[in-house]
Structures are given as C-alpha cells and as structure tokens.
Amino acid sequence: MLGDLASTPGRVGEVEALRGERDQALAAVRRADNELLALRNVVQRLMVENTRLLGSGHQPSSDS
C-alpha cells in the first residue's frame, strides 16, 4: 500500500522530503553518539588519573 501512496504524484515530493528529514535526523544521532563516546573516553581517562593521584598520596595543597 505504501508503494501506491508513494507513487501518487502529489506524494512523491512529500515522501522525498520526509526521507531527507529522516536522513538528517540519523546523521544528527550519529554525531551525538560520537560526541558522547568522546566524552566517555575523557571521563574514563580522568578517573584513571584521579585514581593514580590519590593512590600516590598526592593531596592538593589547601590554603585554609
């Protein structure tokens, strides 16, 4: 049935526009996933570094 609707002259442009919107949304999701992965990697590296610093007994100096 979708094939019948898509082949209707008035629907061809509408279907193409919807496909374009879908493609843009999928690209945005991929970019967001990549950015989230990069942030997770940063957090993981910071956790490792913090653990190393705490384990070495290094304490930040306090001015109190």
In b/e form, how buried is each residue of 15-33, taking b as 16+ CB within 10 angstroms?
eeeeeeeeeeeeeeeeeee
pTM tops 0.85, yes or no: no
Q: From CA 46, how far away is CA 3, in angstroms rounded? A: 53
Give the span between the Cα atoms of 20 and 14, in whole angstroms. 10
Per-residue pLDDT tens digits for 15-59:
999 999 999 999 999 999 999 999 999 999 999 999 999 998 766
Helices (H), 1-64: 2-7, 9-55
Q: How far apart are CA 19 and CA 31, in angstroms?
A: 18
Whether 6 shows a pLDDT value over 70: the answer reads no
Q: For residue 61, what pLDDT is reported?
A: 64
